[in-house]
């Protein structure tokens, strides 16, 4: 995924940002990436041999943002690692994320944002958790291409990873299970 698909999809993204490619190409790149990951998904899931439930994770792409490939990949990896994952999809309002976390008694909330304009919603999720009954229990992990360690520190999130494999290790640490 990292050494093949990501290189391809990033090339289209770069071409889009400098005006050499247009929205149809961006859409096609997204569809190709999804189709390619679908082929690998059963194998990714199969490799998650660990059966102990490590915790419950609610994941979503923030409101205003419809990029779902990275978030879904993180969800697949978390499930394979032993988390019970509730994937709320894309364009998800903060209140819906909080309500789901309360409903399922989550240990972890994971929010993805791919746009600089939607990253601010990650801050709102952190604030909403801190102001809710979840504050003592639930950790917030953020991710997505524009997310940096500086941003994570600024919004006070508990964890961050730049890719899906790292996200599993961070999630395990956040819920108090040492990473394998
Ligand atoms: Co859009 N898009 N897009 N796009 N798109 C980007 C993000 C962009 C960087 C392209 C560019 O200009 N170079 C740019 C954002 C610029 C910015 O904000 N600075 C952009 C734009 C501008 C837009 C639109 C506004 C275009 C328009 O309409 N004019 C529009 C926005 C729509 C919206 O959301 N409201 C738009 C739309 C789309 C498509 C729908 C066409 C399509 C998405 C299809 C889909 O998701 N089903 C699309 C695509 C494909 C891209 C690029 C090319 C690829 C994104 C992707 O799927 N990457 C992207 C360019 C790029 O990122 N270089 C781009 C593969 C995926 C596996 O990586 O999501 O980064 P990623 O996830 C990684 C890590 O980030 C991390 O792990 C994953 C796996 O390693 N990670 C986490 C992700 N979430 C995590 C959560 C975690 C932890 C780690 O914890 C919770």
Q: Following DSSP, what letter does each residue of the chain receive, concatenated?
A: -TTTHHHHHHHHHHHHHTTSS-HHHHHHHHHHHHHHHHHHHHHHHHH----S--EEEEEEEBTT----HHHHHHHHHHHHHTEEEEE--SSB-HHHHHHHHHHHT-SEEEEE--STTTTHHHHHHHHHHHTSTTTTT-EEEEESTT--HHHHHHHT-SEE-SSHHHHHHHHHHHTT----
Q: Which residue is closest in CA terms to ligand 1's atom 91?
A: 110
pLDDT of residue 180: 45
Contact 171 CB / ligand 1 (< 6 Å):
no
Question: Could you state, in chain order, the average pLDDT of each consecutive group of 10 residues for the chain (180 residues)?
Answer: 85 90 88 86 74 87 96 86 91 98 97 98 97 92 97 97 90 79
Q: Ligand 1, residue 113: give the atom nearest the CA.
A: 84
Q: Ligand 1, residue 17: give the atom nearest the CA.
A: 12
Mutate to test the pocket of ligand 1, among 38, 70, 88 (most ligand atoms within 8 A of CB): 70
């Amino acid at each position: 995924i990292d050494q093949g698909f990501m290189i391809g999809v990033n090339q289209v993204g770069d071409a889009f940002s400098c005006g050499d490619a247009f929205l149809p190409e961006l859409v096609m790149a997204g569809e190709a990436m999804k189709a390619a990951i679908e082929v690998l998904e059963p194998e990714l899931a199969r490799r998650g041999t660990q059966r102990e439930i490590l915790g419950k994770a609610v994941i979503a792409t923030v409101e205003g943002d419809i990029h779902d490939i990275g978030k879904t990949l993180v969800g697949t990896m978390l499930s394979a690692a032993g988390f019970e994952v509730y994937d709320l999809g894309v364009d998800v309002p903060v209140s819906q994320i909080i309500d789901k976390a309360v409903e399922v008694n989550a240990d972890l909330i994971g929010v993805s944002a791919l746009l600089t304009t939607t990253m601010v919603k990650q801050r709102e999720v952190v604030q909403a958790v801190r102001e809710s009954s979840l504050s003592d229990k639930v950790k917030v992990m953020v991710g997505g291409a524009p997310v940096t360690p500086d941003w994570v520190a600024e919004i006070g999130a508990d964890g961050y990873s730049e890719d899906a494999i790292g996200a599993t290790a961070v999630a395990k640490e956040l819920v108090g299970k040492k990473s394998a």
